[in-house]
Chain A
């Protein structure tokens, strides 16, 4: 860690130090304002009436706080021909994300355990092939997946979307668990084997109890990915099964009627709330997932 404001034993007097320190804090504060501004604008806009939005300023606080836009966004806004608000789609996303996150995390844990602790010839190649799958642009699988879901009879359904998210989530979840389990000494597995414990017994009683941190990281990562997904949602859903991101986009970009900016903003905040909440509550794990997902290895 270096220190701009405290150069070692030289020149710049106390005054210079203080000025530098102030400049530093002002800069940091300005950047904080830059990142917070859109959220601030979203919240204040969602609390204004349309009248006030038209006559007032973007950055002004609401003169009169009203929650009408939130009510409309939740249960009355139109996503095309239907006008039930975000509520049904919010639940679609929940019904979709919970099983998809649980399944992909569980499969990733087992896979990672095999790749890290039960090496067999070819295991590394298999892992590399799976890892590679994380990098493909999903556009390249959209068309055949659409056909396959049709053949399986789950096109446009929530189970269909769960299937897609689990399949393309396995690469990352395996990577997370593999990297975590690699750091657990293999002597542990060997000793347990000598004592007569089998493959699943070792997994349940030794590895799973050690896995809480990586489970949290993986669940957060998968939840954020799946909740925020738009491409799969818009490609593989139909009216009624759409996830919340698709419904939000339909509300915002529907061309019928008066443009209700306050409703758009309230809807955006509702759609963002779950992942934002996870970030605030478990930010440390969120960041760990992000960096683990990018700094492979």
Chain B
């Protein structure tokens, strides 16, 4: 009996977590997928009706705006955060005496919640009293910076705040990557008189492929899940000009009482995440098993 217990104990310890993940991740995804195929409104219904919710979703102008915003925001956020992060990492890689302090300063926004970040930037970007008013106060009367309340530009304020929050983290990733490059190769290149910028562009950066990949995955993941920042900074407005899929889903689920729409938009979000993450996880797991 004790022998049996001893051999099966590890499985029994892992079992509750495994069951929890099966039910609360996979079971719940199945539930949401099922409900996304029904006519559920305020309450879930379980008779499958086909793809009507998805048809409604793709016909809704608000969802169209949300997806467009996701692509604009996602692309700009990922590109700017990566470029800025790489630049900062290279600058910091030059034997800077105060590196520790500077790194701490660049990275602290990552410890803040998106709600705090949004609150701070909402105040700074507020046209009446923020940057606009300050620059006008310096004598530049014609200066205008009212993106926060401009439906066409408001989505870029989300980019500004998100880049501020996450770029330091990308820097930390890249800095670790720069430091992991074999120093012998760099020394050899220096002895050969190859200029520093060439050492970076031809030797160091090309060898950091996996770091670029993980930075991309993390940022893309952050972009798709972005919810709190929009709520705190613009509330999805003006109108629904800065809606993202996550805020659309939330509005349908908890304020519009349209569970069918909420479920189908959540499924689309998951498909977008999977399209990005699955190939990455697959290659990671395969590389490890080899």
Contact = CB atoms under 8 A, between A and B. Distances in A.
Interface string B247-277: 0011001100001001101110110010001
A111 B17 CA distance: 8
Given A147-B44, A271-B115, A130 B17 contact: yes
A290 B120 contact: no
Chief secondary structure at chain A's binding surface: helix
A28, A54, A131, A133 — most chain B CB neighbours (10 Å): A28
Given A170-B17, A271-B116, A45 B123 contact: yes
Contact of B14 (A114, A138, A231): A114
Q: How large is the interface on B (under 10, 10 to 19, 20 to 34, 35 or more residues)?
A: 35 or more
B193 A198 contact: no
B114 A138 contact: no
A19 interface: no
Interface of B: 6, 9-11, 13-14, 17-18, 20-22, 24-29, 31-32, 35, 44, 88, 91-96, 102, 104-117, 119-124, 129-131, 133-134, 137, 164, 168-169, 172-173, 176, 178-179, 183, 186, 190-191, 193, 195-196, 199-200, 204, 211, 214-215, 217-218, 221, 224-225, 227-228, 231-232, 235, 245-246, 249-250, 253-254, 259, 262-263, 265-267, 269-270, 273, 277, 281, 284-285, 288
Interface of A: 1-5, 7-10, 24-25, 27-28, 31-32, 34-39, 41-42, 45, 53-54, 57-59, 107, 110-111, 114-115, 118, 120, 123, 126, 128-133, 135-147, 167-168, 170-171, 174, 198-200, 224, 227-231, 234-235, 245, 248-249, 252-253, 261, 264-265, 267-268, 271-272, 275-276, 278-280, 283, 286-287, 290-291, 294-297
Q: Which 9 A-B pairs have the closest CB atoms?
A: A228-B113, A118-B10, A279-B111, A230-B228, A133-B25, A139-B266, A141-B28, A144-B31, A58-B134
Given A136-B25, A143-B263, 13 more contacts: A7-B190, A28-B92, A31-B91, A35-B106, A35-B108, A58-B129, A111-B17, A136-B29, A139-B245, A167-B20, A227-B113, A234-B250, A249-B231
